[in-house]
Amino acid sequence: MNKTQRTEALAGRVTPEMEHVANVEFLPVETVRDEIARGRLVIPANRLHLEKGLVPSGIGIACRTKINANLGNSPIQSDMGCELAKVHCAISCGADTVMDLSTGTNINEIRQQIIDSIHVPIGTVPMYQIAEELESIEDMRPADFLRIIEEQARQGVDYMTVHCALLRDFLPLAANRTLGIVSRGGSLVAQWMVAHKEENPFYTHFDELCEILAAYDVTWSLGDGLRPGCIADASDKAQFAELKVMGELTLKAWEHGCQVMIEGPGHIPLDQIEMNVKNQIEWCHEAPFYVLGPLVTDIGAGYDHITSAIGGTLAAFYGVSMLCYVTPKEHLGLPNIHDVRAGVIAHKIAAHAADVARKRPHAQDRDDEMSRARADFQWKRQFELALDPETAQKMHEESIQKSCEHHEYCSMCGPKFCSIRNSRKAMEGLQENEDQTTGGYSGENMTVLKYPHPVLKMTCRPLRKVDAELRKTIGEMFALMYETKGVGLAANQVGLPYRFFIMNPTGDSDKPEGERVFINPEIRLGNGKPILDEEGCLSFPTIYAKALRAPKVVVQAYNLKGEPIAEEYKGFAARIIQHEFDHLNGVAFVDRLDEDAFDNVVDDLDHLTQSFEKARQNGDIPSDAEIQKEIDALLKLRAVL
């Protein structure tokens, strides 16, 4: 059997492509491997395209939702240069894959140029080229489609849509539809079957097709030739009969070592989307679902990128793995480059909205950064974070043409009515009042809180602002860290409920070049075998034990100037970062110990607990209610609530 991503996963092996997908998806590589073995995740990566620089992409329920852009030459009103420009536009706007649906002349040349010039997976519908090369589709023979499919695989195509599950018996089921068979490939297969009075040749020669695809590790995209083309035809017997056969073919393809995803319907009313997704998951054994739209109404002509994105958001939320974009020109004409941009951005929004709702790893990070940038009127950063920076900046600049300043108020409301500006003034006034009544935060008598102080168990909140007072506090934290012989210190270790920590791996105040401040940090663990090494903690004096940590981490955060940073650390520094990041989530290093190691420190923990209770009885430590009141006041001062 040919080696494919699936056969390697089934053998328990991890490929470089799996490692890459794990890194970009913030997933353990073992999860990626196991999901591929289970059939719930595919990495469309023709081994010949990999040699040309393909960047692998994972499509599956465990990954972020992907989007595909359909492009390709038309014999009526397009040319090679135009289509290549649209391909690069789609990718620059965020398309994760591209399907070349070229018809007309020079199909091979166009496809080769696309494959050689892009680094995202590329898909095709081989039937289009077969039909283009023959005088009539009725002339098609098995040798024709086997040849074309192998030619495309040899060019480097990563996944192919073939309508293998549209059986002859299903044609009468579509006879009474409002729009009949709207799939181009499906209609051609139907035409061939009626003319020859024979079964679908792609179905009868499926094993031979699997051998070709497995030889190059081309992923199956089992096509839905009977997808509904209007909501009146949605969820009918024809559509679901074909879907069940797709499930049968999925099992057969897996036996050949092929990766499989399933194409889904185009037009589906909003209330039927969940049912459609659940049927596919059940009948097709959880293979990744790839849907066109779905469009939720038929009267959005000129705006069908919106009708599609509405349905796509809901579909992705319920479990669809990839959305095929629709442009404003759907049903009306061939999209131009502006339509391509609009279609990609609309579906990136849909995919991202679903990822946020499904709480995929780090999906909301960009939204949170945007909120902070808006709160601080950081216009440049807002443009950078937008899914379409060019359009966002252009719209903003158009709205402030008559204004000499626009950084400290919303351009729509103006300085007097800007809610963010007015809210900031109100909060500053509130802070002044609270400072007078509670004293705000003062670094005086700063100490390291000891276990089991309740603040150590809290999850810290992101910082809303960094001001002179906070910078002064951070300076005092460094002084305290050096005084207590530490190398790192998290905010809640000194009673602050904010998401930031400091470190200096040297532990030497005479070497300030090692000092780092990480505000609102997020970390991603690197690959490699975890390292078991001894740790201690200023909040657990006298306790030392061996804990497992990743050998390297990437940390994304802000520095004291409010600038975004992304840095990789290895070894001891990586261990410090993981330790302090845990603190911000209320996790202590003793929580990371295995059972035997934890048993060895139980007596020390009991001793710290007794000391804490004694100090509280003596009035040296406030009650939980008093501590919470102080924390609430601090959160109002600077935290994102």
Q: And the tokens for 312?
A: 């796509």
Q: Is 538 a catalytic residue?
A: yes
For the question of residue 453 being annotated catalytic, the response is no
C-beta of residue 17 within 8 angstroms of C-beta of residue 49 = no
Q: Say which of 20, 163, 285, 579 is annotated catalytic.
A: 579
Q: Tell which residue, 85, 90, 93, 31, has the closest CA to residue 58.
A: 31
Contacting residues for 28 by C-beta, under 8 A, at least 6 apart: 22
Q: Which of 286, 488, 496, 535 is catalytic?
A: 488
Q: Is 312 exposed, middle or buried (0-12, 13-18, 19+ CB in 10 A)?
A: buried
Residue 537 annotated to the active site: yes
Which residue is catalytic, options 493, 496, 535, 608? Answer: 493
HSE (CB half, 13 Å, CA atoms) of 134? Answer: 19
What distance in Å separates the CA atoms of residue 430 and residue 426, rounded to the nearest whole number?
6
Per-residue DSSP letter, 489: E
Q: What DSSP state is assigned to residue 165? A: S
Please, how many CA atoms are within 13 Å of residue 237, restricted to the half-sphere of its CB? 9
For this structure, is 493 an active site residue?
yes
- 524 forms beta bridges with 554
Pick the catalytic residue from 63, 101, 210, 538: 538
Per DSSP, helices labelled H in 443-559 are 468-483
Q: Is 20 among the catalytic positions?
A: no
Catalytic, 27? Answer no
CA distance 430 to 636: 9
Q: Is 407 a catalytic residue?
A: no
- Beta-strand runs (E) in 163-238: 219-222
**257-294 burial, b for 16+ CB within 10 Å, e for fewer?**
bbbbbbbbbbbbbeebbeebbebbbebbbbbbbbbbbb
Under 8 Å between Cβ of 160 and 213:
yes
Catalytic residue among 49, 285, 453, 583: 583
Given 58, 166, 580, 634, which residue is catalytic?
A: 580
Residue 624 DSSP code = H
How many CB atoms sit inside 10 A of residue 395's CB? 13
Active-site residue, from 258, 537, 608, 634? 537
Q: Contact 174/238 with Cβ under 8 angstroms?
A: yes
Render 376-435 in DSSP notation, one character per residue: TT-HHHHHHHSSSHHHHHHHHHHHTTT-S--SSS-TTTHHHH-HHHHHHHHHHHHHHHHH
| Strand duo 41-42 + 59-60: pairing | antiparallel
Catalytically annotated residues: 488, 493, 537-538, 579-580, 583
